[in-house]
Amino acid sequence: MNKMKGVPIFLSLVVLGLASSIASASDPSPLQDFCVAVKDSEVESALFVNGKFCKNPKDVTANDFFFQGLDKPRDTSNPLGSNVTQLNVDKIAGLNTLGISLARIDYAPHGLNPPHIHPRGTEILVVIEGTLEVGFVTSNQDENRLFSKVLNKGDVFVFPVGLIHFQFNRGYTNAVAFAGLSSQNAGVITIANAVFDSDPRINPDVLTKAFQVDKNVIENLQKQFWVDNNN
């Protein structure tokens, strides 16, 4: 009988543990009205925290929550033909602990925001101008299924956290999209850059076997200049 009584308590602890792990899977909830990020090179070099240190609330101004000029087109004259303007906590200090950020993406005709992931945030994208082919790929456990759609002005698409996704301008004119992300700093890992332009380089033998191609192909890819379109 005593063993049976202990089962509900054990299950309750398991559920509580799972709930806690799920709750901590995104940016932590703020415990005050705001926690405007402050840069202190001496402190930051000595301590590492999951986020940024808070400015004294008495020193906070409206400018800590402000950014100007997101209406202006960005330069897309790079090999990818795209430019991502990130508005995360590094650009708007007031975003610290709020668990949200924004990005503007400009695309030249046939411009590409290449396959990448955001390790810490889900993305919701809305097309402002142009036509975009977008998509994401599921995990190995889900057989790497591709979910893809052609979006026009006013259309919205969601990219789940941590999954490889992309956007391609199918049109002959410029395109613009805005994206909201569920993190103050969602992070970006561009797949090609990470694989072929890491520092130091990944052993070519590893990539040759992984991609099942000739080693010369890998070595040539590692010699290329890989563009980072994130600003």
How does pLDDT run across 61-82, given as a tens digit for each residue? 999 999 999 999 999 999 999 9
Local confidence band at 53 (pLDDT 50, 70, 90 cut-offs): confident
**Burial class (CB within 10 angstroms; exposed 0-12, middle 13-18, buried 19+) of 133:** middle
Cα distances from 132 to residues 27, 32, 111, 151, 152, in angstroms, run: 30, 40, 10, 5, 7
Render pLDDT for 96-121 as a digit per residue (tens, 0 to 9). 999 999 999 999 999 999 999 999 99
Render pLDDT for 197-224 as a digit per residue (tens, 0 to 9). 999 999 999 999 999 999 999 999 999 9
Answer with the residue of higher pLDDT: 127 or 40: 127
> Residue 135: how many CA atoms within 13 Å on its side-chain side?
12
Known binder of ligand: residue 123?
Answer: yes
pLDDT at 22: 46
Render pLDDT for 169-183 as a digit per residue (tens, 0 to 9). 999 999 999 999 999
Tokens linked to 157: 């698409």
- Gyration radius of the chain over CA positions: 22
pLDDT at 60: 94
Known binder of ligand: residue 116?
Answer: yes
Q: What are phi and psi of 106, to 5 degrees?
A: -105, 140
Average pLDDT across the chain, whole number: 89
Known binder of ligand: residue 110?
Answer: no
Local confidence band at 12 (pLDDT 50, 70, 90 cut-offs): low
DSSP 8-state symbol, 56? P
Does the pLDDT value for residue 135 go beyond 80?
A: yes
Report field, pTM of the whole predicted structure over 0.95: no
